Structures are given as C-alpha cells and as structure tokens.
A and B are shown apart, each in its own frame.
Chain A
Amino acid sequence: MGFRSFLHRITAPAPLGERLNEPCKMVCVVNQGLKMGKGKIAAQVGHGAVMATMKSGIEKPMNLEQWLATGQKKVCLKGRDAEHLLALEKLAKAAGVLTTLVHDAGHTQIPSGSLTVLALGPEIEATLEEITGELKLL
C-alpha cells in the first residue's frame, strides 16, 4: 500500500450502513425484440454496467463494495421486449433494487431512443433471483 492510500484509508469517513455478507451480482436484461448484433449488445450492456456502478456508488455504496470485492459478478439474461423490461423494472423498484435503463442514441442498427438494456443491482443474489429467476441466459 502506498503512503497516500494508507493516509486515505485512516482518514476516510466510515462507509454508511451495514456491511453485506452475502454475495452480490449485477443482472443485465437485454431487449430481444430489437435485432442487435453481438457487438452492439456488448456495448449496450457495457453502458448499463457502468451507469449502474456509478449509481450504486452514490446510493448503495455497501452493495458496490461487496460486489467489487467478490469479483463483480455479472449475468446477461433475455427479455422479450421493451414492455417486459419495464415490467421487470417496476418489480425491482418495489423490492428496493437499483435499476438502470439504457436507451440507445441510435447511431447504428436500431431506431434512436430504443430501450435496449435494463441493469439491476449490484444487489444480493437471492433478491435478484426472485425478480429474474425465470428468465433465460443470453
């Protein structure tokens, strides 16, 4: 550890809230109603992951810390269409899970403003299982 990070560690404010002990994951649900190529999907999921990470750093720092410490596990699942993604978002919000919607700028492949990805978490795995348990892996 460098001197500055050592100093930072002992002077930084204590994190808010309880430490989590269960493993966390992030789930990205991809809108399969759009015909996106593999590279396009990868970039959209990347958007969702970065946005969700930044959001959790502000709103749920303990989740972020636990998720990073346990190897930032991510899973990609199939969603039927935009309505399906929005329905899942509603469920997740009701369960207190952080949600992030990705809308495409429409430079390539699909119309501008399409809802491409719903990112959930980082959140305790069991909580996410209840919301996305029946969805298929992409």
Chain B
Amino acid sequence: MAMVSTVDEPSMVFIARHDLKMSAGKLAVQCSHAAVSCTLNARKTHARLVERWRNAGARKICLRADDLATLQRLAGQAQVAGLVTYLVKDAGHTEVPPGTVTVLGIGPAPRRAIDALVSELKPY
C-alpha cells in the first residue's frame, strides 16, 4: 500500500526542447520561469493541491522533447486533462530568437496524471 501514497504525491514536470541546445544556465532559468508561473497560476485554481505538493517536497523533474510540435501536443493534452500548464516564451536576450517557445511546465498535478502524459519522454 505504500506505493499508492508515493504515486499520488503531486509533482511538477518541465519539458524542455532538446533541439535548441540551450546551455545549463539558460535551461535552468527557463525551467524556473515555468516553475514560478505554474505555481502562481495553480494557487488561484488548485490551492490545496499546491499546498500538498509543497509539503511533500515540491517534486520537480526535467524531461526532454525533440521539437516544438511535441511541446504543443503535450500542452493540449494536459489542458484537456484539466492540468495547470505554462509555455515559456523566451524574451530572446541571449542564445535563441525572441518569442521562441523553450519549455512547457505542467503541474503541480497528481503524479499519475503527469506520468500518463509524459511516460515516453527521457530525462534531460
């Protein structure tokens, strides 16, 4: 039965575009944009879930996607499933052109709901 509780812990996932070849610092900044925006948005609509997520250690993982189309498809599927999503568009000060979509943030959401969406993706 212990399995059940860990599977149900809320989680947040960042899906980053591997084709942009961002540096470690760039990737970290883009993911934290997603983290902050998802958290602030989720606090308005899923306040209890956010509290549960933070109390359980605010789990976050970073996965990689091959291209923009994958990000958009996953964002659509997550929204249909009723999850909080945020697409990060870069201001383009460095490395990539302005307006480039770099990262998709999903959650905090029940881990099962996230796993169902991103099970085929690899860790970044």
What is the number of contacts between chain A and chain B, taking CB atoms within 8 Å?
95
| A39 and B61 within 8 A (CB) | yes
| A38 and B124 within 8 A (CB) | yes
Q: Please report the C-alpha to C-alpha distance between residue A93 and residue B91 in the assembled complex, in whole angstroms.
A: 30
Chain B proximity mask over A98-127: 1 for CB below 8 Å, otherwise 0: 000000010000000000000000000000
The reply to whether the CB of A41 lies closer than 8 angstroms to some CB of chain B is yes
Minimal beta-carbon separation of B86 from chain A (angstroms): 12
Point out the residues of chain B lying under 8 angstroms from A41, CB to CB: 24, 27-28
Point out the residues of chain B lying under 8 angstroms from A45, CB to CB: 28-29, 31-32
Chain A proximity mask over B1-23: 1 for CB below 8 Å, otherwise 0: 00000000000101010000001
**A interface, size bucket:** 20 to 34
Chain A proximity mask over B34-68: 1 for CB below 8 Å, otherwise 0: 11110110000000000000100110111110000
Q: Please report the C-alpha to C-alpha distance between residue A49 and residue B28 in the assembled complex, in whole angstroms.
A: 10
| B58 and A38 within 8 A (CB) | no
The reply to whether the CB of B123 lies closer than 8 angstroms to some CB of chain A is yes
Residues of chain B at the chain A interface (Cβ within 8 Å): 12, 14, 16, 23-37, 39-40, 54, 57-58, 60-64, 91, 123-124
Residues of chain A at the chain B interface (Cβ within 8 Å): 28, 30, 37-51, 53-54, 68, 71-72, 74-77, 105, 137-138
